[in-house]
Structure 1
């Protein structure tokens, strides 16, 4: 029926009935089967015979007069040649697409990877930092579905030019892991990373550096001068005397020590097997007392992790001392070189190769490695004691018998 749409007239409508406003052409009110009253505006798209109905709202959430105002506004838009419903649908579609695109950008995927996976890793902060500095600024805004190999290659080119090939490969490894993780979640996504994108070869990166006797002495002397972090001198010396890797020693916990044996659990050892280290007297003396993390700057609550800053300070002290002594600058060295040096010192002390390899925690290959489960604890104890004795001799050598690593025996 036709009449004036107002509160009284619409509330008299029965389910299925409607009223067309006699003043604003196309303005309608209808009572639905549910009992609700819906306001709408019907119009013809300019230049066509197509009619469209656009909702104005539900009675109760808006009044009849408010609905009339909305209808007049839509009527004005139609008079100007616009298509209110079509434009609204297009706007909603565009917003949906933008939201979808935003959710599938590289940056969004990295966010999910960090939250669900990498944040649980000890290296999580390093991964996040590499994403922030090298990945997000270059490809973070791109849709993962539009990402091409060329985008990844150009990113790696820029990283290599600015930070070196090694850094480019580290970032590549992190991004590859994130993309592989996302491929498990999204069957539509295929990672653009392929073999051959790395900038270095593992063999080229393999280090062979071992520390000479005078370098060991210089490191020990410089450590005596370090006051912050307080745990660092003992930590570095422990690396050499136990031939452990950086994080293996940094994460040492009081619960892993049983008398004079330190057992690194399989959960945090590289070969995924428990590794028992009989501690020499010198190594045992380095470990601080405590019931939690032994090397810590937070009273044992967290394991020591400030490697870069502490190493830089140690290198500064070494450089200063060598310059004052008229010695050349010490060639670049890393904490992992201590592990390689310890293995060399064991050989120098006459420790059998098998025993030295077991002391390092290396897996013995072949049949012997499969069936020989003897712990070799006493053999390893002699090996670590011999290492400690050799280091002590290097630090305080006989005046007429200073021998450097690599010298003929």
Structure 2
């Protein structure tokens, strides 16, 4: 199908059961492709490198006008010798695999990206050809996740997956970011829940009725992140000191992460001494792999404790609060939690503060 493409003519084009192309009679090689599901109208042009021809995506109508599309087509032909997308990257799933290889070693939050892809993204996007991806697919994914889960999660999934397309543009794997204008506005409010002394005691008592009680008690008395405790290995414990390796410790950038020392109080040592050594991991049913907690286990503990509106991270926040309420300096609490110290003094101060941290953690043993 050919026509002299104008804004009026394009606006009147309707989507059909199958996608179709309209070739511009003014600029040779310029094509408007009308999608079959949402009727999205994408500009493309054909370029040649030697005897090989390929289609290059230019933009989306009406964001890209007819005049701009013709100019972009001319420019694309002039840049025909630019790097081509590797042959093995044809679908979004292929693109994600390349993205994973590059970004996983550098991203602290990669596990969240991988989870968003595995649970939601792969089913909706994986099979799509890179040339067919549009902002409509992103909106459809966001709305589906929001409906099945929450609006907050729907926005989070988009924020985790969307940077992949920006990365692909930077790497010259695609010509344009199809999700550049995709909105993900729902943002979680900062949580400030702190358990009262009575609630703290209820949760503590409930751990003795749960088969994962040792894990929960260690979490409460160490004030460490739940994932670090869940992945604790026997080899990380030396005497009365637990060292969380740099590669497992949370940091803004992986290259800036450092090992974190947690002095073990008598109460923490007692918990460890009562744990059977069935494998490399301290906690978990078999000790052969890292403990993975789902909402079922967390809800079970909350039900036994009779404490509503409680998350595992609330225990860490409450532990920090209990230490400061017992006259432990905030500086030491910060060291216990392993929060980064970005002050100039930190560059010179290389003390480990083990005894000060041990005294602070002893406060948590006094239920």
Q: What interval of TM-score do these two structures reach, taking the shorter chain for normalisation? A: 0.5 to 0.7
Q: Which residue of 2 aligns with 1:213?
A: 197
State the Cα distance separating 1:177 from its structure 2 match. Answer: 4.9
Offset at residue 192 of structure 1 (A): 2.7
Q: Residues 150 and 295 from structure 1, CA distance in 2 versus in 1: closer, same or farther, beyond 3 angstroms?
A: same
Q: Secondary structure at the match of 2:208?
A: helix
Which residue is 1:303 aligned to?
A: 290
2:282 corresponds in structure 1 to 294
Q: Quick one: distance in 2 between partners of 1:316 and 1:352?
A: 34
Q: Which residue of 2 aligns with 1:224?
A: 208
Equivalent residue for 2:225, pick from 222, 225, 245:
245
Q: What is the match of residue 86 of structure 1?
A: none
- Describe the shift of the 1:368–1:250 C-alpha distance in structure 2 as closer, same or farther (beyond 3 A): same
In the alignment, which of 121, 142, 149 is matched to residue 128 of structure 2?
Answer: 142
Equivalence for 1:11: none
Q: Secondary structure at the match of 2:162?
A: helix
The question of whether the paired residues in 2 share the 8 Å contact of 1:144 and 1:189 is answered with no
How many angstroms does 1:160 deviate by? 1.9
Distance 1:302 1:294 in 2: 9
Question: In the alignment, is the contact (CA less than 8 A) between 1:101 and 1:143 conserved in 2?
Answer: no
Give me the whole-angstrom Cα distance separating, in 1, the residues matched to 2:109 and 2:343. 33
Q: Which has the higher helix share?
A: 1
Give the CA deviation at 1:341: 0.5
Q: How does 1:70-81 map to 2 (within 5 A)?
A: none
User: What is the CA-CA distance between 1:132 and the residue it aligns to?
Assistant: 5.1
* C-alpha distance in structure 1 between counterparts of 2:355 and 2:341, whole Å: 17
**Displacement of 1:351:** 0.4
Task: State the Cα deviation string for residues 140-172 of structure 1 (Å, max 9, x = none).
Answer: 443222322233133213322331122113322
Aligned residues: 275
Larger radius of gyration: 1
Question: Once the 2 structures are TM-superposed, how far is the Cα of residue 129 of structure 1 from its aligned partner?
Answer: 5.6
Quick one: higher RCO (CA 8 Å, sep 6+), 1 or 2? 2
TM superposition shift of 1:253: 0.8
Would the aligned equivalents of 1:135 and 1:155 in 2 still touch at CA under 8 Å?
yes
Residue matched to 1:345: 322
Distance change in 2, residues 1:308/1:143 (3 Å): same
Structure 1 alignment gaps of length 5 or more:
1-92, 94-99, 323-329, 393-409
Alignment partners' CA distance in 1, 2:217 and 2:98: 40
Alignment correspondent of 1:362: 339
Gapped regions of structure 2 (runs ≥ 5): 1-52, 54-85, 252-256
Compared CA separation, residues 267 and 137, structure 1 to 2 (3 A): closer
State TM-score, norm by structure 2: 0.65
- Deviations, residues 163-219 of structure 1 (Å, cap 9, x unaligned): 112211332243235445655665335433347722333xx4321111112212221
